[in-house]
Amino acid sequence: MEAIGSMPQTAIGFIGLGNMGRPIAGNLVKSGQDTIVYDAAGTAVRAPQGAQIAHSTTALAGMVDVIHLCVPDGRASEAIARDIRSATDRQTRLVVDHSTIGTEAAQRVHGLLAGAGIEYVDAPVSGGVSGAVNATLAIMYSGSEDTFDQLQPTFEAMAGNVFRVGGEPGQGQAMKVLNNFLSGTAMAATAEAVAFGVKQGLEMGMILDVVNASSGRNTATADKFPNRVMTGSYDAGFSSAQFVKDLRLYRDAAGAIGASCPISPAVSAIWRSLDADEPNADITRIYTFVHPEDGD
């Protein structure tokens, strides 16, 4: 890894090297794409092997045409957008946001960047840390078709499935938060249903086998319970606090357009309860929360 002052226009910028961002950036490097990274929490210690480093957002904006973001929330995306706008000798013309920030924040970031002549597309990802590591993520892109086509080599390096879900800022976020609402609902409902079955004297493995051959199959029964709960590892790599955030974003977006959401309050409440009881718990801990007899 080395700091540099300038790069050819083919270089890609990447901001945000957390649990998701670091392996995504690493896959860009592995694909042979020149990648310059930055993370406010410490770039040198977080940068993937083979990446080059920038010392600030504004410095990065002077080096590359395209910057990808993978940051915790809308406030971070907005702050980065302001820094990119303010960069002297700015080269950046496109920002691709892989963060989960909600529809309203995406629209605000779009407005900030559009005012400076910078294109913004929201392209959140799903698939968790394992998907980021294995380059099997799903990307939910919202933006122009031309830009979508131009980004294909980059997307192919990080994802197994890429969807252009719309053309307006925020539509990618809408897709992401509705997906996470469904995921959170399935995880909580599976925990309750499996706990019920165990109390009836059924073996968890048998419950999952039957459900996975039946209409109740979902990602919790197919993956998280057999691989993370039954094994006792409880390491899905996604926290209760993240579900609380994403469900809030879903409900905020629904409220902003007057969409009916009679189920999400109950789902949100169970995840808030888990997070209050065990802050930042792995989401698979929802099972021991509803069925404490199986806790450590």
Has residue 3 been placed in a domain?
Answer: no
188 and 153 in a common domain: no
Three-state SS across 243-261? HHHHHHHHHHHHHHHCCCC
Has residue 7 been placed in a domain?
Answer: no
267-276 burial code (b ≥16 CB/10 A, e <16): bbebbbebbe
Domain boundary residue, one of 135, 151, 169: 169
CATH code for position 133: 3.40.50.720
Quote the DSSP letter at residue 282.
B
Domain boundary residue, one of 119, 144, 169: 169
152 and 30 in a common domain: yes
Locate all alpha helices (DSSP H) within 47-151, ordered by sequence: 57-61, 74-86, 103-114, 128-134, 145-150
- Of 225, 147, 231, 153, residue with least CA distance to 193: 225
CATH code for position 222: 1.10.1040.10
Has residue 40 been placed in a domain?
Answer: yes
Q: Which domain holds residue 117?
A: 12-169
C-beta of residue 170 within 8 angstroms of C-beta of residue 150: no
Has residue 198 been placed in a domain?
Answer: yes
Q: How many domains does the chain have?
A: 2
Q: What pLDDT does residue 2 have?
A: 44
161 and 24 in a common domain: yes
Domain boundary residue, one of 143, 169, 195: 169
Has residue 1 been placed in a domain?
Answer: no
- Catalytic-residue membership of 30: no
| Burial grade of 152 (CB within 10 A; 0-12, 13-18, 19 or more) | exposed
Q: Of 176, 199, 224, 245, which one is the catalytic site residue?
A: 176
In the block, tokens 């409220």 appear at 255
128 and 270 in a common domain: no
Q: Which residues contact 80 (CB under 8 A, 6 or more apart)?
A: 15, 57, 69, 71, 95
In the block, tokens 């897709």 appear at 175
144 and 236 in a common domain: no
Mind listing the pLDDT tens digit of every residue in the chain (296 residues)?
Answer: 444 444 344 799 999 999 999 999 999 999 999 999 999 999 899 999 999 999 999 999 999 999 999 999 999 999 999 999 999 999 999 999 999 999 999 999 999 999 999 999 999 999 989 899 999 999 999 999 999 999 999 999 999 999 999 999 999 999 999 999 999 999 999 999 999 999 999 999 999 999 999 999 999 999 999 999 999 999 998 999 999 999 999 999 999 999 999 999 999 999 999 999 999 999 999 999 999 887 65
108 and 19 in a common domain: yes
Please give the Cα distance from 209 to 213 (Å, whole number). 6
182 and 248 in a common domain: yes
What pTM does this model have? 0.91
